Amino acid sequence: MLFLLPPSESKLGGGSVGPRLRLADLGWSSLDPQRRRALEDLAALSADREASLAALKLGPRSAQEVERNVHVLDSPTMRVLERYTGVLFDPIRASCLTDDSWRWAADHVVVHSALFGLVGAADPVPAYRLSHDSRLPGATLRQRWRGPVAEALDASGRTVVDLRSAGYAELGPGPEGRSSTVRVVSDEGGRRRALNHFNKKAKGLLVAALLADRPDLTRIDDLVAWAASRGIDLEQDGSGGLTLVAESLDLRPAA
């Protein structure tokens, strides 16, 4: 089973003092042609500071983000779950993960990057700035990624639990019949409503619980049963998706 996350616009700086970005160090190698083209187009865009700010939808005070893109090929790298920060990734507490949790994450957790496509939780990546709605020269990000990402997910043969936002899901749908999108709701006295901001945090808490327990999962039924054993309210809905009740999340160790 794969847990597919969106990236975060906020990223921790710094990283290794060893080798810089090497595509050979990233998983999902079928996406390397698209990655090379995206890196080439990002380099071309980054040569023009004003054009970069416009394409990335940034103001003048965010010029440092353009500098990150200028140096993306020679800046330090860091494991994916360590690199991304923000509402979704902070609850995962990557700096505190055990070796066993890192191994489970490397096999089960995937982030959908606008620059690199699919990357594994432990793949080394540099800091950069590119969002699902950014504009690179040439093809749109949807045109670049939608087909290759969908094909890569399908070729994996694994069940996909899709925790992405709608914008990133547009850059590559999960495999038909083997993908379940997670919807986060709040239960207020039996009345449920969809969540926006806390939606990301709830997904981060779910992944953190998975990394703590490292369950053996093959089917969606296995995931639902694990969640129930944890006191997490995760339900299958009639459309093949999953509904996660935010109030049920708890990071206490499993009994």
Over 60: is that where the pLDDT of 121 sits?
yes
Over 50: is that where the pLDDT of 128 sits?
yes
Q: How many percent of the chain have pLDDT more than 70?
A: 96
Residue 254 domain-assigned?
A: no
Q: How far apart are CA 176 and CA 150, in angstroms?
A: 10
pLDDT (0 to 100) of residue 19? 65
> pLDDT for 135-186, tens place per residue?
999 889 999 999 999 999 999 999 999 999 999 999 999 999 999 999 999 8
How does residue 134 score in pLDDT terms, banded at 50, 70 and 90? very high
Buried b (16+ CB within 10 A) or exposed e, 219-237: ebeebbebbeebebbbeee
Residue 124 domain-assigned?
A: yes
Residue 111 domain-assigned?
A: yes
Q: How far apart are CA 205 and CA 226, in angstroms?
A: 15
| Ramachandran area for residue 153 (φ above 0: left; ψ -120 to 50: alpha; else beta) | alpha
How does residue 18 score in pLDDT terms, banded at 50, 70 and 90? low
Over 90: is that where the pLDDT of 240 sits?
no
What is the pLDDT of the chain when averaged over all its residues? Answer: 92
Domain with 181, as residue range(s), is 2-248
How does residue 254 score in pLDDT terms, banded at 50, 70 and 90? very low
As a whole number, mean pLDDT of residues 39-59 equals: 91
Residue 180 domain-assigned?
A: yes
pLDDT (0 to 100) of residue 212? 97
Over 80: is that where the pLDDT of 188 sits?
no
As a whole number, mean pLDDT of residues 176-205 equals: 87
More confidently predicted of 195 and 171? 171
Over 50: is that where the pLDDT of 251 sits?
no
Residue 255 domain-assigned?
A: no
More confidently predicted of 247 and 182? 182
pLDDT (0 to 100) of residue 234? 96
Phi, psi (5° rounding) for residue 182? -95, 125
pLDDT (0 to 100) of residue 191? 80
Over 60: is that where the pLDDT of 253 sits?
no
How does residue 130 score in pLDDT terms, banded at 50, 70 and 90? very high
What tokens appear for 90 in the block? Answer: 């902070």
pLDDT (0 to 100) of residue 255? 40
Over 90: is that where the pLDDT of 225 sits?
yes
As a whole number, mean pLDDT of residues 79-85 equals: 96
Domain count, the chain: 1
Residue 23 domain-assigned?
A: yes
